[in-house]
Structure 1
Amino acid sequence: MKLEMICTGEEVLAGQIVDTNAAWFGNVMMENGVECQRRVTVGDRLDDLVSVFKERSLVADVILVNGGLGPTSDDLSAEAMALAKDVALVENQEWREKLEAWFTRSGRPMARSNLKQALLPDTAIMIDNPVGTACGFAVKLNRAWLFFTPGVPFEFKQMVNEQFIPFIKHKFDLTSQVALKKMLTLGQGESSLADTLADIDLPCGVTLGYRSFMPYIEIKLFARGEEAMALLSNVESQVIELLGHAIVAHGKVSLAEEIHSTLLGSGKTLSIAESCTGGMIASQLVDFEGSSSYLQQGLVTYSNESKVKVLNVKPETLDDHGAVSIATVEEMAKGVRAILDSDYALATSGIAGPSGGTEGKPVGTVAIALATSKGVYSQMIQLPRRSRALVRSLSTAVAYDMLRRELAGEAVVVDYGSIGRFSK
């Protein structure tokens, strides 16, 4: 089965918004054993939409079309599909009734323009949208089924999971054997990782890929067919042996997800005190449902005064060592842990830049500490020539990994390769 995606919208094409739907879709389909072979982005121009529908329907078996189903004049997907198929737009009575009922339940008057969302190409199969006012639809054109979804991310994702994936499983034989392994790495560049793994002899049917989304680089091992799948674990073992400490998670999209999945339901608690990371450590955990079961508090103690008054950092520690120091960050971690007697506590203090550095502590110098009931682990890392955002995100990732390693019973402080580190 040849799967493609057509993304619509002038704002997507012009780069005014980032197309997160496309990235999410490609990843979800790969996890379901289907590779998206091509993606095309088209603006809100009727002729261009008609042209691309006709062109790609001669090649693909299934095309997911995202966007252009709203009530305004620049929402053109249904009209373009009708022109491509040379059929009329007709009102779908079932969807009109659902629209009217939706607005009635919401206690809102329905604008006449919303009725446009009930106009579908003749012979189209209406696809329910349980969380929005724009229904989807499916149409057969040439060799392809075109499956239309709204562009609103939460509507799109629900329809893909609940309607699109069952649709293609019903229409096509998806029994081909595939398997995917993902490993998250930290502290090495893509070229360095590629050099390290260059000598692995990949079996037929197994491919090795990389995805960079800072501060991580994800390594993907994809196997096609039973023979390749049987050899996948051996290839994975080779990657793990070669990369060592650079691998920080398996099958997760971030270290925050790894920490969340480990602490959730464990009965263990965590407190966080942040300076240069400015709440990033706590914020990424709060993105996950259930984080309140282990995250007791996240404090942004940015000023020296707050470090002293809130965390009980000694004034003489700041005077003697400075805010960005092992001594200070250890007292920060111990102080925030003591407030609620948390099992674990993380603390950061650093110079994110672009200014504020000194000869002894240049921009990108960050101190990180992990406090536990048994003691405190700490390290000073240096991240030169990185942007302010990357210094903060890399520091957050290193802090998470210190906690992850402690939870796994591993050495807490390790050498990541391209991340400079200084001992006490």
Structure 2
Amino acid sequence: MGKKCLEQQVREDYQKLTKLLIQENLTISTMESATGGQIASLITDTQGASAIMKGAFVTYSNEAKIMQGVPEEILDTYSVYSTQTALAMAKRCKQVYDADIGIGVTGTMGNIDPNHPDDSQPGTVYYAICVKDREFCTCVKIPPQENRLAYKMAVAKEINNKLTEELIHVRK
């Protein structure tokens, strides 16, 4: 699937997801590092998203994560590149915005983090989704992409697929 095709498909998938969240009256918030706000942007690209998007944090640095309530001990113990950090991010944004859904994303796109060379693995992204009382977190390996936007779209696709799957469980 080419870059343009992937981007268009991801945008269409998020439009469907946002309409579903509106229909189900489920609110959402995000705390994003590696994706730099791309998930929030994709959600808010759909008209009516203000009914469900409670807010978002772009916490690109560790300091920003800590300022928004991610426990420093988690970063120190597991590193910023971990499912534990992604889960703390998802829980915190869900709590701060009193949302039904929280998404946390951290990781490394196509490069090694010069501040954490031992912990960062290019293309390795950790994300967590909290939907009501359900929690899910995982690590995904994104194959090499031609640019940062392509990495972000590949991660967004993964998150959309998993969130859509999780919503099936909540709706039952």
RMSD: 2.4
Task: Tell me the equivalent position of 2:134.
Answer: 375
The 3 A distance-change label for structure 1 pair 303 and 216 is: same
Task: Tell me the equivalent position of 1:260.
Answer: 18
- Uncovered stretches (5+) of structure 2, i.e. residues with no partner: none
Higher helix share: 2
Determine whether 1:214 maps to 2:21: no
Answer yes or no: is the 8 Å Cα contact 1:326–1:379 preserved in 2: yes
Task: Tell me the equivalent position of 2:159.
Answer: 399
| TM-score, length basis structure 2 | 0.86
Offset at residue 355 of structure 1 (A): 3.8
Determine whether 1:296 maps to 2:54: yes
Answer yes or no: is the 8 Å Cα contact 1:363–1:384 preserved in 2: no
Offset at residue 215 of structure 1 (A): 5.0
Q: Secondary structure at the match of 1:214?
A: helix
Distance in 1 between the 2:91 and 2:33 partners? 15
- Mapping of residues 167-178 of structure 1, within 5 Å: none
| TM-score, length basis structure 1 | 0.37
Distance in 2 between the 1:276 and 1:372 partners? 21
Answer yes or no: is the 8 Å Cα contact 2:15–2:45 preserved in 1: no
Determine whether 1:305 maps to 2:97: no
Distance in 1 between the 2:75 and 2:142 partners? 22
1:339 to 87, 93, 96: 96
Answer yes or no: is the 8 Å Cα contact 2:113–2:120 preserved in 1: no
Offset at residue 340 of structure 1 (A): 2.4
2:107 to 328, 337, 350: 350
Distance in 2 between the 1:365 and 1:303 partners? 17
- Mapping of residues 324-335 of structure 1, within 5 Å: 324-335=81-92
- Kindly report structure 1 stretches of 4+ aligned residues shifted beyond 6 Å: none
Distance in 2 between the 1:263 and 1:356 partners? 35
Task: Tell me the equivalent position of 1:155.
Answer: none
- Uncovered stretches (5+) of structure 1, i.e. residues with no partner: 1-188, 191-210, 218-251, 411-424
Distance in 2 between the 1:340 and 1:360 partners? 30
Determine whether 1:385 maps to 2:121: no
Answer yes or no: is the 8 Å Cα contact 2:131–2:166 preserved in 1: no
Higher strand share: 1
Answer yes or no: is the 8 Å Cα contact 1:215–1:397 preserved in 2: no
The 3 A distance-change label for structure 1 pair 347 and 253 is: closer
Question: Matched residue pairs, number?
Answer: 167
Distance in 2 between the 1:306 and 1:360 partners? 19
User: Between Structure 1 and Structure 2, whose CA radius of gyration is higher?
Assistant: 1
Q: Secondary structure at the match of 1:213?
A: helix
The 3 A distance-change label for structure 1 pair 212 and 307 is: closer
**Amino-acid identity (%):** 26
